[in-house]
Chains A and B, each alone.
Chain A
Amino acid sequence: AQSVSQHNHHVILSEAASLELGCNYSYGGTVNLFWYVQYPGQHLQLLLKYFSGDPLVKGIKGFEAEFIKSKFSFNLRKPSVQWSDTAEYFCAVNRAGGYNKLIFGAGTRLAVHP
């Protein structure tokens, strides 16, 4: 069965700390990978995406993610978090080249303290 697993449900960091959120997927075939963010009171926004090519993808607000095909992973990173990064982060996958229904992980709730 297709699934996405996010390792941490809650993460608490101080400002300027480094962030890494884990994401592993189980999906046959070629995939597209996404990280979405949901800030408090706002709708889901696309943070970054990977379709093909360079496995290190840079997104908005200083976020990046690395696709490691052999590990079925797509971890999200940021070298130095800010209070404004407090949000819920969702990893998602869909099948490349096909109907694009997204399979989401359960999400990681990040709290950044000043």
Chain B
Amino acid sequence: DAGVTQSPTHLIKTRGQQVTLRCSPKSGHDTVSWYQQALGQGPQFIFQYYEEEERQRGNFPDRFSGHQFPNYSSELNVNALLLGDSALYLCASSLASGGETQYFGPGTRLLVL
């Protein structure tokens, strides 16, 4: 049973660039959530996708956008990167129906220079 997978594992970008991170949910899961974990802090909710639509959003600017595909995989896009976007980006999957437990992937570590 495959768990949550994310790619790439590490990424280095410069300010102003754009980045796309990818996530494949755990087998059987239909909901994907994205979190940002800055150094020394707990993960912060960015948004959640279900049925290819953004269902809920945290307190993040419009530079952060996402997409969910028919196979339930998801992308997180960040435009106009800032130094403060450097963080570990976590993807979590769950079941929309009664699946209130989220399972996390290994994350993508983004460094913005």
A positions within 8 Å CB-CB of B: 4, 32, 34, 36, 42-46, 49, 51, 90, 92, 94, 96, 99-107
Residue of B nearest to A9 (CB): B40
- List the B side residues contacting A51 at CB < 8 Å: 100
Q: Whole-angstrom distance from the CB of A43 to the nearest CB of chain B? A: 4
Q: Mark B38-67, 1 if CB is under 8 A from A, else 0.
A: 001111110010000001101000000000
Contact A102 B106 (CB under 8 A): no
Contact A102 B41 (CB under 8 A): no
Q: Whole-angstrom distance from the CB of B40 to the nearest CB of chain A? A: 8
- List the A side residues contacting B90 at CB < 8 Å: 43-44
57-113 of chain B: CB within 8 A of chain A: 58, 90, 92, 94, 99-107
In the complex, the number of residue pairs spanning A and B with C-beta atoms less than 8 Å apart equals 56
Contact A101 B58 (CB under 8 A): yes
- List the B side residues contacting A34 at CB < 8 Å: 101
With A102-B92, A104-B35 given, can you name 5 additional A-B contacts, CB distance below 8 Å?
A34-B101, A43-B90, A43-B106, A100-B94, A100-B102
Residue of B nearest to A36 (CB): B104
Q: Whole-angstrom distance from the CB of B52 to the nearest CB of chain A? A: 16
Contact A102 B103 (CB under 8 A): no
* Residue with the highest number of chain B CB atoms closer than 10 Å, among A42, A96, A103: A103
- List the B side residues contacting A46 at CB < 8 Å: 101, 103
Asked whether B33 is an interface residue with its Cβ less than 8 Å from the other chain, the reply is yes
Contact of B55 among A4, A90, A99, A106 (CB under 8 A): A99
- List the A side residues contacting B94 at CB < 8 Å: 100
Contact A105 B58 (CB under 8 A): no
Q: Whole-angstrom distance from the CB of A68 to the nearest CB of chain B? A: 21
- List the A side residues contacting B103 at CB < 8 Å: 46
Contact A102 B58 (CB under 8 A): no
Contact of B102 among A4, A102, A105 (CB under 8 A): A102
Q: Whole-angstrom distance from the CB of A49 to the nearest CB of chain B? A: 6
